[in-house]
């Protein structure tokens, strides 16, 4: 066991729920832009995702997801939103990609890394 510090504290993440979007995106401080453009912090290559589709901002009241006037909209739990504070286990839909907003504890991050390693080992890469 080790004492919690900035490297092991709980973090929030958007965790892909689709077969083609299974990665986790830790919600960092500052503004995180989500879209199809290569300059986005979270890039989703899809014709259904606008170049600059949505943004995540950490605030004192939580993580706020806001739509950036996207063509197809940003959804939380199947409801189109303009801007809303995310809650644990919310499902965010951008284009055809779904992400769960969830707490990533140090143990779950380590578990995900082990699973990634097993996948790489079994693929022969």
Domain at 49, CATH number? 2.60.200.20
pLDDT at residue 92 in the model: 97
Short-list 32, 74, 93, 90, CA closest to 57: 32
Determine the pLDDT at residue 3: 42
Per-residue pLDDT of the chain (125 residues; tens, 9 = 90+): 334 444 555 689 999 987 654 578 889 889 999 999 999 999 999 999 999 999 999 988 899 999 999 999 999 999 999 999 999 999 999 999 999 999 987 655 555 555 555 555 555 65
For the whole model, what pTM was predicted? 0.75
- Quote the distance between the C-alpha of residue 31 and its chain's center: 13
Distance CA 17, CA 49 (A): 16
Domain that holds residue 47: 12-123
pLDDT at 5: 44
Q: Does 118 reside within a domain?
A: yes
Contact criterion met (CB below 8 Å) for 81 and 72: no
Question: How, if at all, do strands 54-59 and 31-35 pair?
Answer: antiparallel
Looking at the domain assignment, is residue 2 inside a domain?
no
Q: How many domains does the chain have?
A: 1
Query: Is residue 36 in a domain?
Result: yes
């Amino acid at each position: 066991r080790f004492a919690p510090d900035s490297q092991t504290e709980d973090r929030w993440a958007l965790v892909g729920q689709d077969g083609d979007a299974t990665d986790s995106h830790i919600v960092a401080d500052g503004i995180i832009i989500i879209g199809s453009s290569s300059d986005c912090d979270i890039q989703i290559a899809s014709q259904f995702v606008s170049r600059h589709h949505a943004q995540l901002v950490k605030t004192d009241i939580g993580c706020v997801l806001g739509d950036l006037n996207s063509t197809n909209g940003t959804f939380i739990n199947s409801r189109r939103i303009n801007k809303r504070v995310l809650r644990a286990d919310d499902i965010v839909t951008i284009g055809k990609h779904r992400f769960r907003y969830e707490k990533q504890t140090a143990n779950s991050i380590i578990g995900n890394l082990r699973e990634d390693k097993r996948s790489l080992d079994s693929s022969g890469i």
